[in-house]
A and B are shown apart, each in its own frame.
Chain A
Amino acid sequence: MTDLLKSIGRWLDARLQLGQTIADVAAHPVPRSSASWWYIFGSATLVVFILQVVTGICLATVYTPAADRAWDSLIYLNYHQPLGWYLRALHGWGSNFMVALMFIHLLQVFLFGAYKFPRELTWVAGCVLLLCTLGMAFTGQVLRFDQNAYWGLGIGASIAGRTPIIGFKVVDLILGGPIIAGETLSRFFALHVFVIPALLIGFVGLHLYLVLRLGINEWPMPGRIVRRNSYIAEYQELVHKDGEPFMPHAAQKDLVFAGLIILSLLVVAAIAGPIGPNGQPDPTIIQTVPRPDFFFLWLFSLFALLPPWTETVLMLTGPVAVIGLLFALPFISGTGEKSWRRRPFSVVIVILAVTLVGTLTWLGTFSPWSPVMDAWSATPTPIDYVKGRTPLELQGAVLVQSKQCRNCHSLGGEGGMRGPALDDTATRLTRDQIVRQIIQGGGNMPAYGKNLTPAEVNALVAFLATMHPRGEPPARDSARPALPASSQ
């Protein structure tokens, strides 16, 4: 039996010549300093991508890319297909893992100066892979055809529609028509399953080929300057004097980390379960709070917070400028110091970018700028604000709910955050100021004077005038004499 297998192997190898190629790859020398735990993120991204291909193929055997049946096929996977939910969980969390690992890889490569001469095109191929992966993430989110997908797509199309002159053509191209309809999903299915994966596989091949041919970036040492005329000779010397074969020292770290990543993916998918789908993608259902997946949350926040007059310009030129800069980086700064210790500007850029994206992502998880549309009917008035109130004050508390003040203003930490919390209103505003604020609005609050009767305003003011922490007196009009404590 073993002899037969051996002879088949020899027959194949004589014709394919794979054995020697694999042996060459395994034995190619890498700088000893590069066989480090810092150099494991790229291979881990690739391993997760392979897993995505496998789980994606399995999902494609069940998924129906038709607008009226896609959602049902996801529900079938989640609830009826044995282990269908786990497959979806692996694919969904796999995409999160892949995006996260790729960004870590990007930061590491940037900080280690790996994009510099002669690896400019390795970086460019990596940038294409970054865009493809984000493209996969977005199209994947659309294929999970639920309310988030529906509205996310609508927002994407409306951004594209801002393009001057050809805007409506671009929308037609994305959606397969002027609205999200039957053809939209087929289009995104084709992108997600054929076009972008083909690009990904092609560019992964190029990326790996370049890494092998040009050699892995050496550990950056302060003072070791990259010069076009001498770098290649210096690198060869380093590899020969202080190098070792890729197998086993460098590769084993890659393998261990890839194993850990797969294991954590298996565990996270088993504990957290599949991502969505949430409600049906039906625009007549207005009780929905659509959110993009976490990797686009920062964009969601950014677009929400941009001043309106800057929107069109920044939404159209911003991405082009950022992506352009990313591609141009090795051509702008292709030589010089590699070590991050000698590149303070790069370190500041990374810190700023991570802080900015992190903060915007965090804000995106609860979007304080959006009213909470069901707070008025779903979030009770805190019991402390109900007890001991007069009948009029209690009616004011009812009006805070029924007039939907609560959708923008929180009480006891619950409710909208668009306006200030009402818990300490009375310490900030006198009765007269509360009346003026309610009737005339101001500071982003609409005027409610025409929507409230005088009795309703009186009740609201009576309630809000009680909103001051115990021990902290309410605000007082300094032009009027202080009232005795009992009447406050």
Chain B
Amino acid sequence: MTSIKLNSRSLKSLLAIVSLAGTFLAGCDSLPGRPTQAELPLRPSNVTDFATLYGENCAGCHGADGKSGAAIAMNNPVYLAIIDDASMRRVIANGSPGTAMPPFAQSAGGPLTDRQIDLLMRGIRKSWTGAPGAAEGAPPYFSSTAGDSSRGAQVYATSCQSCHGPDGRGGSAGSIEDASYLSLISNQYLRTIVIAGRPDIGHPDWKHDVSGQPLTPEQVSDVVAWLASKRPPPPLAQSN
């Protein structure tokens, strides 16, 4: 059997190993494998990060950055200016009747708590406020008058027809008089799009349909009333 002798060389190697191990241990906090707080698994009802909540629940229809999705953009300064907090919260919680927007509140069968819905509303406002003054003079979110559909036809001819075409035939932007389209969209949604537009995919807002002639609140109500008059009755009522 050989005996263990501590000569200077082995002492040096020992020191080197100890210092290496020391460096390694001291550096553990910054090692890539160390779990971060962000990786801490949360119950779905305890998620409070806006990006996660929006990404998992809203991005599918409203787009990754709040725009360019299939449904109306959240990243639209005019939209954010005209809708009040309570209305936005209500739409997220209970859905929007007459459209594809489903309810998200747990009380309505959805996955989100009231706190999460509030966080989403605040997060949307905080992330995408947009340019100040963009919505100055915009018609209100809710219509105060019923609207006159015959006057609405005039508004359509002046402000919408250049893109959406005459007599329901559809122009460069396709028809909005299509019966199926109108069956899938509520008056409120039509009103919101007429006012706020879809700037992300080229639809102008109320100010820019005709240059220098922004639509008045009455004109908006009128054109929505005219479009609503073209909506066919629901299939069940039809069969009755």
Stretch at the interface among A82-90, A232-240, A312-320, A340-348: A82-90
In the complex, which of the residues B1, B42, B44, B181 contacts A391, with contact meaning CB atoms closer than 8 Å? B181
Q: Are A85 and B201 within 8 A (Cβ)?
A: no
Closest Cβ–Cβ distance, residue A175 to chain B (whole Å): 24
Q: Are B40 and A79 within 8 A (Cβ)?
A: yes
A322 close to B (CB within 8 Å): no
In the complex, which of the residues B28, B60, B185 contacts A375, with contact meaning CB atoms closer than 8 Å? B60
A-B contact pairs, 12 of them (CB 8 A): A19-B1, A377-B56, A378-B60, A386-B63, A387-B202, A389-B174, A391-B175, A392-B178, A398-B100, A402-B61, A402-B102, A454-B180
> Which of B58, B100, B170 has the most C-beta atoms of chain A within 10 angstroms of its own C-beta?
B100
Closest to A404 in B: B60
Complex Cα spacing A152 to B64, Å: 33
Chain A interfacial residues counted at CB < 8 A: 61
A374 close to B (CB within 8 Å): yes
Stretch at the interface among B31-39, B78-86, B137-145: B31-39
Which B residues are CB-close (under 8 A) to A79?
35, 37, 40
Complex Cα spacing A461 to B71, Å: 17
Closest Cβ–Cβ distance, residue B240 to chain A (whole Å): 15
In the complex, which of the residues B34, B56, B235 contacts A454, with contact meaning CB atoms closer than 8 Å? B235
Q: Are B41 and A277 within 8 A (Cβ)?
A: yes
Closest to A2 in B: B3
In the complex, which of the residues B31, B41, B56, B61 contacts A374, with contact meaning CB atoms closer than 8 Å? B56
Q: Are B69 and A386 within 8 A (Cβ)?
A: yes
Stretch at the interface among A178-186, A265-273, A427-435: A265-273
A interface list, Cβ under 8 A from B? 2, 5-6, 9, 19, 75, 78-79, 83, 85-86, 89, 146, 269-274, 277-280, 282, 285, 287, 374-381, 383, 385-395, 397-403, 406, 453-456, 458-459, 462
Given contacts A274-B33, A386-B68, A395-B185, contact A5 B3 (CB under 8 A): yes
Complex Cα spacing A271 to B1, Å: 41
Given A272-B33, A395-B184, 19 more pairs with CB closer than 8 A:
A6-B1, A75-B40, A79-B40, A85-B33, A85-B35, A86-B34, A273-B35, A280-B41, A380-B62, A380-B64, A381-B61, A391-B175, A391-B178, A395-B180, A398-B70, A406-B60, A453-B183, A456-B184, A459-B181
B interface list, Cβ under 8 A from A? 1, 3-5, 25, 28, 31-35, 37, 40-44, 55-64, 68-71, 100-102, 111, 164, 170, 173-176, 178-181, 183-185, 201-202, 234-235
In the complex, which of the residues A78, A393, A402 contacts B100, with contact meaning CB atoms closer than 8 Å? A402
In the complex, which of the residues A9, A273, A287, A398 contacts B1, with contact meaning CB atoms closer than 8 Å? A9
Which A residues are CB-close (under 8 A) to B173?
390-391
Complex Cα spacing A456 to B33, Å: 48
Q: Are B180 and A270 within 8 A (Cβ)?
A: no
In the complex, which of the residues A6, A379, A387, A394 contacts B60, with contact meaning CB atoms closer than 8 Å? A379
> Which of A5, A388, A395, A406 has the most C-beta atoms of chain B within 10 angstroms of its own C-beta?
A395
Ranked nearest first, the 7 interchain pairs of A and B with the lowest CB-CB distance are A390-B174, A273-B33, A455-B183, A397-B70, A458-B180, A455-B180, A402-B100
